[in-house]
Structure 1
Amino acid sequence: MLTLHRPRARLRALAAAACTAALGATLLGVAGMSPAGAAPAAQPAAAPAAAEAAPTAAGDKVIGYFTNWGTYDRNYHVKNIVTSGSADKLTHINYAFGNVQNGKCTIGDSYADYEKAYTAEESVDGVADTWDQELRGNFNQLRKLKELHPDIKVLWSFGGWSWSGGFGEAAQNPAAFAKSCYDLVEDPRWADVFDGIDIDWEYPNACGPTCDTSGRDAYGELLGELRKSFGNDNLITSAITADGSDGGKIDAVDYAGAAQHLDWYLPMTYDFFGAFAAQGPTAPHSPLTSYPGIPTEGFNSDAAISKLKSLGIPSEKLLLGIGFYGRGWTGVTQSEPGGSATGAAAGTYEAGIEDYKVLKSSCPATGTVAGTAYAHCGNDWWSYDTPETIGTKMEYKNEQGLGGTFFWELSSDTTNGELIKAIS
């Protein structure tokens, strides 16, 4: 996920600071650059023209990421999913993140996950936790949320930008990894909370925070073992690269072959550009399409979706990703995209990154490009989605017959759920 995502290992006393740092670090490089020397993958034969001629009806999945570290500095809790109106729109929640260590799925943050005691005021149902109850924390709050909204499904997401380094070791014994994940997700203390697992490996057989060399088929083999362990009654999904460039990250893995093991993919169609390139050029981090002057061809949502579909992956197994945050530069004098910069714009939790709920007032949109918005205010330049540009992306999702929409992440929206309510 975000990508704005990824917690980092921390002592509980330092949890808030570490969680904040993780937010932006995980955003970095979702689209990313292709690993040096990576060979383009061989693509399967094109599907018959008749099969391509029949459009697929768009799906209505709406999946939001909920971060365990959001309960610290961000002060965002499961109850806020209800009070914002988001619970009425969501079909699924991806709970981020569990860790991957020593070839196994492990707890990400035990305090936030299942130890924190909630007061009556903080709790979803207005009932305070007691000192001796078996399950507290976010897991218990999610249980209460599902009692109020029984149609919402919850998946436990593992990995993310900061915690993807363990997948290479996991791939060496995928059966053991899959068993560890099943045993953790189905722990009797919280088995009723989760309806499946989401894998966020950044990136198989390519480079993210570290470079993986497990091979082109390792990802699919790992997912195949997960399906054996979890069976067909549980959901298995995966957030994947949206690098649609020639020889890029999509080409490094057999995503078409792996798709048989999954219910759907979540291509991370955001973080294509940002102040990790400190001097610019300024560019929208989540362009829907290409546009004249785009810094890297293939770094846009349509390129990623088109490439994945061309591999034979069914449209209904692909969801469109939206970032509920912006990326920005400072030292920018040009209003339109393509300007130079001196560095990252100031952000609440990390330079170069800010929530939509802040940007909508602090730096209102001044233009649109490639189906998303940008804003030039003073010396700062930001790009982010608005309710209006989300509407444009929903039209694209429907035209492409995609399975639905997902977003990173719930706490970045306004208190009344402005962005999620624009998803249709």
Structure 2
Amino acid sequence: MRSPRKRWLVAAAAALLALPTTLTAAPAAAAPSDVTVVYTEGDRWNTGYSGQFTIANASSAPLTDWTIEFTLPAGASVTSLWNATMRRSGSTYVLTPPSWGAPVPAGGSYGIGFNGAFSGGETAPVTCTINGAPCAGGAGEDDTTPPSAPSGLRATDVTSTSVTLSWNAAQDNVGVAGYEVLQGGEVVRSTVGTATTATVGGLSPDTEYSYSVRAYDAAGNRSAASTPITTRTGEQGGGPGPAAEVRVGYFTQWGIYGRDYLVQDMDRSGTAEKLTHINYAFANVSADGQCFQANQAGVGDAYADYGRSFGAADSVDGVGDTWDQALRGNFNQLRELKEKHPHLKVNISIGGWTWSRHLSDAALTDASRERVVRSCIDMYLRGNLPVIDGAGGPGSAYGIFDGIDLDWEWPGSEGHEHNTVRPEDKENFTALVQEFRDQLDALEAETGRTFELTSFMPADPEKIDAGYEVAEIMPNFDFVTVQGYDFHGGWDSATGHQSNLRLAEGDPGPRLFSSEIAVDAWIERGAKAEDLVLGVPFYGRGWRGVSAGPAGDGMFQPASGPAPGTYEAGIEDWKKLKNLQGYELYRDDAAGAAWLYNGDTLWTYDDETSMAQKADWAQERGLGGVMVWSVDGDDAQGSLMAALDQALDN
């Protein structure tokens, strides 16, 4: 992986054993003794740190309301928080569910993340209660027995910058609450629950590290450390390093209209600082096989890209565009965003669902491949777009784009109804990727800059087999993003999960999909896990005319058609779904899925909790990171992106 890496380390603090304080709490359906809260600390930097409270509900009933009260030591404070509403009085904080509600399912958990400030010393809360009872649960002060030490510690995957560890579960008289991974005797990774695997990233290539693991329970008792092991990272390679560090967000060209989501919104919401990459969607390819920008018959939007003037209130730098300014529009705003966040890489994404129409033609021959690649590189990376008089175009002269994201949907199999599909697309895609890589390498030698090549890939194993020679193409990509959504939608006659991590029990098909199936399919065909980035949706898909069914939740039931949506039937942005009234929230934690149902309409979607589940799963699998389609589906506070970021940092 060529892009710079952010080191992520997790230093876990003790699971809290606190005395109850006077607190009037709303009644909860779950018994207090079955509800615990575990606190873990994340990164530290200068005078700041991050942390998370995880509510675990071990009862057989949902926790319909909750209140967490905690006190921080002198010098520590919470500065921002997500997934809860916060009240503060001095050093005491009270957390309650957010406005959209946050019931903790029976046997499930719920995470609350925050950023804090400190002036040195301790940051872990000194007291903590949930609904008036100790955060440590019913065991509280009476449980002084530590868990047994985990056994069988082993390294199951080692890259140049990461190590994935697995171990055998520990035992406890009440129950194991989680594990801590120690590197050289210091905690660098923590887990909550029964997971017995973790990935440690941010390591140096060709370096020896010593690891052990210990268990902790809800009362804060810690086991002895396991027998340590020593492992050595690999030599520096070309692929991505630490798991779950690439964070790609698609910014849609058209989002500045109806959704009114501007480049500036990525900055103000905090999303830009959490991303490593922005993919700008989309660039079009003409019938004669060349990248083009002209606004012809609705197949391009030069006005959005580099023509629209933004006033001071809508600009990243707070300065309005002028009438005679050479470069305006989204491209100029992206340039300003990169100046403010120099770690960001911005790639131009070519194709997409609608604009893949001419890609089969463009990839057909040696000559056509050379022509389309040259035109795209000239336009977006060299900057030869003839719109700016005497100043070149919006490319390398302005430092906007750092590479190409190839989004051909799909070589060798059906996509949009007007797209050309050929049996030879599979071999031609391989040749097209090689042509991009060769011309990018030449451009790097010419300019001294580094340019990336990435691609958006399907989840369907049949589409993979029809369109991709996996072992041949992967060495030419910096990484690829794998579609982790649209498994079910309004085109189906029955409801289903659109972005489940694993197969859901009871899914009748006819096609069975999951992120796990997709990732396994790519790995089985020759891709490395660290080169795959999991795609996640910031939107949901819905149906109307849905009966409750035997389970009463509407899932896997016949539907009369797609649900009404703001921009398109059967689809809705998360920022709108989170504010729906009259719906019940359901989760299938085993499948990694969530949905809303009101007795007639069902929306399958992802919220902060399921985003954290996806990030955790990507880390557990050693994937290269996560990708978001698309950032304009998030709310003004960037809540979904914050949930992903918090989970990836932990």
Short-chain TM bin:
0.7 to 0.9
Please state whether the residue corresponding to 1:405 is helix, strand or coil: strand
Whether 1:394 and 2:615 are equivalent positions in the alignment is yes
Q: Which of 1 and 2 has greater Rg? A: 2
In the alignment, the residues of structure 1 paired with residue 490 and residue 244 of structure 2 have an alpha-carbon distance, to the nearest angstrom, of 34
1:329/1:55 CA distance change after superposition, 3 Å? farther
The equivalences for 1:59-98 within 5 A come to 59-98=244-283
Tell me, yes or no, if the aligned pair for 2:244 and 2:615 is still in contact at 8 Å. no
Q: For residue 215 of structure 1, report the CA deviation from its aligned partner.
A: 3.2
Paired residue type of 1:374:
W
Q: For 2:375, which of 153, 167, 180 is the aligned residue?
A: 180
Cα deviation, 1:40-66, whole Å, max 9, x if unaligned, reads xxxxxxxxxxxx942553131111000
Paired residue type of 1:206:
S
In the alignment, the residues of structure 1 paired with residue 376 and residue 420 of structure 2 have an alpha-carbon distance, to the nearest angstrom, of 23
Equivalent in the alignment of 2:291:
105
In the alignment, the residues of structure 2 paired with residue 416 and residue 215 of structure 1 have an alpha-carbon distance, to the nearest angstrom, of 42
In the alignment, the residues of structure 2 paired with residue 255 and residue 114 of structure 1 have an alpha-carbon distance, to the nearest angstrom, of 36
Paired residue type of 1:284:
H
Can you give the 5+ residue segments of structure 2 that lack an aligned partner in the other structure?
1-154, 163-242, 294-299, 384-391, 445-449
Equivalent in the alignment of 1:289:
502
Aligned length in residues: 368
Q: For 1:243, which of 453, 456, 460 is the aligned residue?
A: 460
Percent identity of paired positions between Structure 1 and Structure 2: 41
The equivalences for 1:3-402 within 5 A come to 53-56=156-159, 57=162, 58-101=243-286, 102-107=288-293, 108-172=300-364, 173-186=368-381, 187=383, 188-191=392-395, 192-209=399-416, 210-213=419-422, 214-231=424-441, 233-244=450-461, 248-252=462-466, 253-277=468-492, 279-280=493-494, 282-294=495-507, 295-334=509-548, 335-362=553-580, 366-369=585-588, 370-402=591-623
In the alignment, the residues of structure 2 paired with residue 391 and residue 128 of structure 1 have an alpha-carbon distance, to the nearest angstrom, of 37
Cα deviation, 1:197-222, whole Å, max 9, x if unaligned, reads 10110000111013511332111110
In the alignment, the residues of structure 1 paired with residue 470 and residue 584 of structure 2 have an alpha-carbon distance, to the nearest angstrom, of 36
In the alignment, the residues of structure 2 paired with residue 404 and residue 142 of structure 1 have an alpha-carbon distance, to the nearest angstrom, of 22
In the alignment, the residues of structure 2 paired with residue 353 and residue 204 of structure 1 have an alpha-carbon distance, to the nearest angstrom, of 25
1:66/1:365 CA distance change after superposition, 3 Å? farther
Equivalent in the alignment of 2:189:
none
1:224/1:365 CA distance change after superposition, 3 Å? farther
In the alignment, the residues of structure 2 paired with residue 169 and residue 401 of structure 1 have an alpha-carbon distance, to the nearest angstrom, of 36
Tell me, yes or no, if the aligned pair for 2:595 and 2:605 is still in contact at 8 Å. yes
In the alignment, the residues of structure 1 paired with residue 510 and residue 343 of structure 2 have an alpha-carbon distance, to the nearest angstrom, of 40
Tell me, yes or no, if the aligned pair for 2:536 and 2:628 is still in contact at 8 Å. yes
Please state whether the residue corresponding to 1:362 is helix, strand or coil: coil
Paired residue type of 1:250:
I
1:296/1:318 CA distance change after superposition, 3 Å? farther
Q: For residue 298 of structure 1, report the CA deviation from its aligned partner.
A: 4.5
Whether 1:420 and 2:637 are equivalent positions in the alignment is no
Moved over 3 A (4+): none
In the alignment, the residues of structure 2 paired with residue 372 and residue 195 of structure 1 have an alpha-carbon distance, to the nearest angstrom, of 34
Tell me, yes or no, if the aligned pair for 2:554 and 2:599 is still in contact at 8 Å. no
In the alignment, the residues of structure 1 paired with residue 510 and residue 333 of structure 2 have an alpha-carbon distance, to the nearest angstrom, of 42
Paired residue type of 1:150:
P
Tell me, yes or no, if the aligned pair for 1:243 and 1:299 is still in contact at 8 Å. yes
Tell me, yes or no, if the aligned pair for 1:205 and 1:211 is still in contact at 8 Å. no
Q: For residue 422 of structure 1, report the CA deviation from its aligned partner.
A: 1.1
Paired residue type of 1:128:
G
In the alignment, the residues of structure 2 paired with residue 256 and residue 332 of structure 1 have an alpha-carbon distance, to the nearest angstrom, of 43
Please state whether the residue corresponding to 1:161 is helix, strand or coil: helix
Give the structure with the larger strand fraction.
2
Cα deviation, 1:366-386, whole Å, max 9, x if unaligned, reads 212310211102410011111
In the alignment, the residues of structure 2 paired with residue 215 and residue 234 of structure 1 have an alpha-carbon distance, to the nearest angstrom, of 25
Paired residue type of 2:574:
Y
In the alignment, the residues of structure 1 paired with residue 599 and residue 318 of structure 2 have an alpha-carbon distance, to the nearest angstrom, of 44
In the alignment, the residues of structure 2 paired with residue 202 and residue 134 of structure 1 have an alpha-carbon distance, to the nearest angstrom, of 34
In the alignment, the residues of structure 2 paired with residue 372 and residue 100 of structure 1 have an alpha-carbon distance, to the nearest angstrom, of 36
Can you give the 5+ residue segments of structure 1 that lack an aligned partner in the other structure?
1-51
Equivalent in the alignment of 2:111:
none
Please state whether the residue corresponding to 1:366 is helix, strand or coil: strand
Q: For residue 291 of structure 1, report the CA deviation from its aligned partner.
A: 1.7
The TM-score with structure 2 as length reference comes to: 0.55
Cα deviation, 1:137-170, whole Å, max 9, x if unaligned, reads 0000000001110101100001000111110111
In the alignment, the residues of structure 2 paired with residue 236 and residue 338 of structure 1 have an alpha-carbon distance, to the nearest angstrom, of 39
Paired residue type of 1:332:
V
Q: For residue 336 of structure 1, report the CA deviation from its aligned partner.
A: 3.9
Paired residue type of 1:97:
F
In the alignment, the residues of structure 2 paired with residue 94 and residue 262 of structure 1 have an alpha-carbon distance, to the nearest angstrom, of 15
In the alignment, the residues of structure 2 paired with residue 264 and residue 365 of structure 1 have an alpha-carbon distance, to the nearest angstrom, of 38
In the alignment, the residues of structure 1 paired with residue 404 and residue 361 of structure 2 have an alpha-carbon distance, to the nearest angstrom, of 19
Tell me, yes or no, if the aligned pair for 2:502 and 2:516 is still in contact at 8 Å. yes
1:365/1:260 CA distance change after superposition, 3 Å? farther
Give the structure with the larger helix fraction.
1
Please state whether the residue corresponding to 2:520 is helix, strand or coil: helix
The TM-score with structure 1 as length reference comes to: 0.84
Equivalent in the alignment of 1:7:
none
Paired residue type of 1:220:
T
1:92/1:197 CA distance change after superposition, 3 Å? same
Tell me, yes or no, if the aligned pair for 1:372 and 1:386 is still in contact at 8 Å. no
Paired residue type of 1:182:
I
Equivalent in the alignment of 1:48:
none
